[in-house]
Amino acid sequence: INRVNVKIRDLPASLDGFTIVLLTDIHIGPTVDQKRVREIVEKTNALHADMVAISGDLVDGFLSNLVQPTLPLAELRSKFGVYYVTGNHEYYYGDTNEWLHYFTTKFNITVLRNENRNLCSSSGDCICIAGVDDFFTEKLRISDHHMDAERALSGCSETQPTILLVHQPNGASKILRNTKKRIDLVLSGHTHAGQFYIVWFLAYLKNDFLYGHYKIKNRDTQIYVSSGVNYWGPPVKIKMNFRIARFPVIISIIISSVSIIFLNIFGMRIFGVNDVHDYRKGNRARQLSTVKFELFILPFSVFVYLRLIQLAKYVLAYNNNGMITDHAGKMVNLYGKKSIYLQLIAIGTILWLFLGHATLFLYFIPDLVPRFLVMLSFLSIGLWYHIVIPLVAFAILTAVFSELKTVNICHPFINKCFSKFSVLEAFCLNKNVQTAFTLLIAIFLCFFSYIFCDNLVIKNVSLNVKDLPNGTEGIRFALISDIHAGATVFKEKIEEIVDRVNSESVDAVFLVGDAVDAPRDSIENRVKPLRFLKQKTFYVSGNHEYYYSNASEWFDLFQQYGFEILNNRHVLFRGICIAGVSDYSSGESGLPAHKFQPVEALKGCPQNTTTIVLSHNPASAKEIAFNSAHLRVDLILSGHTHAGQFYTVAPIAYWMLPYYYGLYQISPETQLFITAGTLYQGAPMKMVWTSEIWIIEFHAAF
């Protein structure tokens, strides 16, 4: 027995402590017999209530079959009687009117069919008890059976407390949307709070109110939804010992934590343990850094899932008049019939994002699962990036405007703007409108990014450098980086890159790191096309070469392909000094010969000729340009940033990174050029025209 205290405004003192026993979803039928009904009646009578309310689904069968099981209902007692409204199950068997006549004549139960009764104390103070036919009748078109709240409330005074019996919470929602009449308390059932553990979530999404006590904002209406006296169908029911209001938060935390759990479970097998001191230590450090990143974004993931669940459920918003509104009815219809498509999109997005979080570990073992599963998984990660950043921005915007509305000097101006531009109010304050807009835009951007991510663009740039050797005026180099052969980049894309580079008239190729994103034994076949690059190729490592297995194995393979491996060393190419450094993070790889050493790379370069340094991470640019030995550096070529890769990440990358994309003047003597990368990392998505191969042409500067 659950006891709930409900505060009603203007409740007369003589009615203070008025008690109602709410019985819903008894479902007298095949699995609920007379013994069970008698037990319910006895427990109800022992409470000595002022009133008994039966909010539908009292029976679940034909009258001819259920006369005996229903007989104990005749013994129900309370001070003001027993009041009953139909549920959907009363309409499933035979003529509903037979049941209603039976209840009225045999058990003295008052059936409220879009009508009301006044229950008055000895001092003349009254409560209005109203009831409506079930919401299900709107689909049945049975003569004289329909939900009519206006008629039910027509005899209730605005000065007296009003209690409305409505079987389905969604029916209550519709009533609240369409009436301004006073309703202090709605008593409902129907949901069974999901009944089965495995359908909690679906029940939560399907019903505006699932279980428990709800208070409606900006309207003096409360709703209590019972989980039901019994069960429907199988005699199985969950134990209701938690607050449903916390349910979306709990679900969001569980979903968001899956990636962290799986990364640890599978990471121990993929990367080994911590008590190693060779390259595996670096691999394990990478995996742990991924786990740390997942822990960092955990609150943001919870926030995203919570917003999507709220959108899927149609969390109701109320304006000052007490009417349900979305603050932008012409723009987004969140609560009408058309919104079912938006609801399905939200549910589908939740499931898709969950797939991405649950299978994030596949990035480290791309050869063990079907290709389509890896692609589907990482597309969802791209979608997450396109959703989370705008939603966080909207949350900040909402917090700012909510705070400004409390400032006296700002309040009138903001209200005036909102009253004139309802769309502005929706975007600033309505969470569902914000989420719906973000979701639709994110899906569009993801689709756009996916379609164009493989669209390789050849770009040209001319750079002026000092002391260009004789005979090298107009020398051309192809700059490629961040191919990321691995989980989502396959052999055919490498072949296309090679074909495009070979079709250009260049003198050499610079491959500036992150060529691969998996162990050699997993994807060696995917990178084989690189050996067909016609021109001399200079290669330096990126951070991703050190994440999987032994990076030296990749160096050995590329050397077999004829690449010039510049691991903190330099070579002269037609009189130009080409130097290369190990990646900025290579010192953490566990490989003793792999550390970022710009002086070592530049040592021996002639100081009277053009010097080009290949360094994957542009964050290293100042250490190279202002090296401790004061060695000459004319140009640094980098990648790594992907120019943000995603539309929503790009502004943050631009703001946070010291060098983002394009050409920079590091010092009077040194320039830095950053490519957005030839392909993508992780999600197969990229901003349009940023999957690029640069052709750099050098001219003498005077």
Instruction: Of 133, 81, 130, give the one whose Cα is nearest residue 108.
Output: 81
Q: What is residue 267's predicted lDDT score, i.e. its pLDDT?
A: 54
| DSSP calls for 207-228 | -S--SEEEE-TTSS-EEEE---
Q: What is residue 317's predicted lDDT score, i.e. its pLDDT?
A: 33
SS3 152: helix
pLDDT band at 645 (very low <50, low <70, confident <90, very high): very high
520-527 helix and 491-502 helix, angle to the nearest 10 degrees: 40
CB 118 within 8 A of CB 127: yes
Please give the backbone phi and psi of residue 317, each rounded to the nearest 5 degrees, phi first.
-115, 145
Q: What is residue 471's predicted lDDT score, i.e. its pLDDT?
A: 92
Q: Are residues 341 and 260 in the same domain?
A: yes
Within a domain: residue 607?
yes
pLDDT tens profile 212-270 = 888 876 678 899 988 888 766 555 555 544 333 445 556 666 666 766 666 555 555 55
Range of the domain at 691: 453-700
CA-CA-CA-CA torsion sign (518, 524, 529, 531): positive
Q: Are residues 493 and 598 in the same domain?
A: yes
Among 193, 225, 257, which residue terminates a domain? 225
Q: Are residues 50 and 107 in the same domain?
A: yes
Number of domains present in the structure of the chain: 3
Q: Are residues 494 and 572 in the same domain?
A: yes
Within a domain: residue 236?
no
Query: Interior CA angle at 169 toward 168 and 174, to 5°?
Result: 100
pLDDT band at 614 (very low <50, low <70, confident <90, very high): very high
Q: Are residues 192 and 299 in the same domain?
A: no
Class of residue 585 by CB neighbours under 10 A (exposed 0-12, middle 13-18, buried 19+)? buried
Indicate if the pLDDT at residue 319 is higher than 50.
no
Q: What is residue 315's predicted lDDT score, i.e. its pLDDT?
A: 39
Within a domain: residue 239?
no
Measured distance CA(221)–CA(676) in Å, rounded: 56
Residue type, 359: T
Please give the backbone phi and psi of residue 118, each rounded to the nearest 5 degrees, phi first.
-100, 125
Least confident interval from 190-199, 310-319, 429-438, 638-647 = 310-319
What's this model's pTM, rounded to 2 decimal places? 0.70
Q: Are residues 483 and 586 in the same domain?
A: yes
Q: What is the CATH number of the domain that holds 127?
A: 3.60.21.10
Q: What is residue 141's predicted lDDT score, i.e. its pLDDT?
A: 72
CB 128 within 8 A of CB 158: no
Please give the backbone phi and psi of residue 548, each rounded to the nearest 5 degrees, phi first.
-135, 125
Q: What is residue 118's predicted lDDT score, i.e. its pLDDT?
A: 93
Give the number of other CB atoms < 10 A from CB of residue 298. Answer: 16
Indicate if the pLDDT at residue 325 is higher than 60.
no
The 3-class SS string of 615-633 reads: CCCHHHHHHHHCCCCCCCC
pLDDT tens profile 165-184 = 999 988 888 888 888 889 99
Within a domain: residue 1?
no
Percent over 70 (pLDDT), the chain: 85
Tokens standing for 511? 């491959």
* 201 contact partners, CB below 8 Å, separation of at least 6: 194, 251
Measured distance CA(507)–CA(250) in Å, rounded: 59
Average pLDDT over residues 560-571: 96
CA dihedral 299→301→306→309, nearest 10 degrees, is -170
Q: Tell me the pairing of strands 576-580 and 569-573.
A: antiparallel
Tokens standing for 639? 């990648």
Measured distance CA(631)–CA(625) in Å, rounded: 8
Measured distance CA(586)–CA(544) in Å, rounded: 10
Q: What is residue 662's predicted lDDT score, i.e. its pLDDT?
A: 96
- 3-class SS shares of the chain: helix, strand, coil, % to 5: 45, 15, 40
Q: Are residues 615 and 673 in the same domain?
A: yes
Tokens standing for 23? 């019985």
Query: Interior CA angle at 59 toward 57 and 64, to 5°?
Result: 155
Tokens standing for 329? 């009815």
Q: What is residue 616's predicted lDDT score, i.e. its pLDDT?
A: 97
Indicate if the pLDDT at residue 94 is higher than 90.
no
Within a domain: residue 168?
yes
Indicate if the pLDDT at residue 327 is higher than 50.
no
Q: Are residues 647 and 595 in the same domain?
A: yes
Indicate if the pLDDT at residue 320 is higher than 80.
no
Q: Are residues 458 and 415 in the same domain?
A: no
Please give the backbone phi and psi of residue 259, each rounded to the nearest 5 degrees, phi first.
-60, -40
CB 540 within 8 A of CB 580: yes
Average pLDDT over residues 624-633: 95
Indicate if the pLDDT at residue 193 is higher than 80.
no
Among 410, 436, 451, which residue terminates a domain? 451
Q: What is residue 483's predicted lDDT score, i.e. its pLDDT?
A: 97
Q: Are residues 171 and 204 in the same domain?
A: yes
Q: Are residues 547 and 689 in the same domain?
A: yes
| DSSP calls for 570-637 | EEEETTEEEEE---TTGGGSS-TT----HHHHHTT--TTS-EEEE-S-GGGHHHHHT-TT-----EEE
**Residue labelled with tokens 């929602």:** 173
As a whole number, the mean pLDDT across the chain is 84
Give Cα separations from 662 to 461, 539, 618, 697 (angstroms): 10, 20, 11, 15
Indicate if the pLDDT at residue 372 is higher than 70.
yes
For 117-273, where are the alpha helices, taking DSSP H only?
Answer: 137-140, 149-153, 169-178, 200-206, 247-271
Q: What is residue 351's predicted lDDT score, i.e. its pLDDT?
A: 84
Q: What is residue 457's predicted lDDT score, i.e. its pLDDT?
A: 96
Q: What is residue 277's predicted lDDT score, i.e. its pLDDT?
A: 52
Within a domain: residue 201?
yes
Within a domain: residue 340?
yes
Indicate if the pLDDT at residue 338 is higher than 60.
no
SS3 536: strand
CB 382 within 8 A of CB 683: yes
Instruction: Of 247, 130, 231, 233, give the one whose Cα is nearest residue 185.
Output: 130
Q: What is residue 208's predicted lDDT score, i.e. its pLDDT?
A: 75
Q: What is residue 324's predicted lDDT score, i.e. its pLDDT?
A: 33
Among 451, 469, 485, which residue terminates a domain? 451
Within a domain: residue 3?
no
Query: Interior CA angle at 231 toward 40 and 32, to 5°?
Result: 55
Measured distance CA(615)–CA(541) in Å, rounded: 8
Q: Are residues 339 and 397 in the same domain?
A: yes
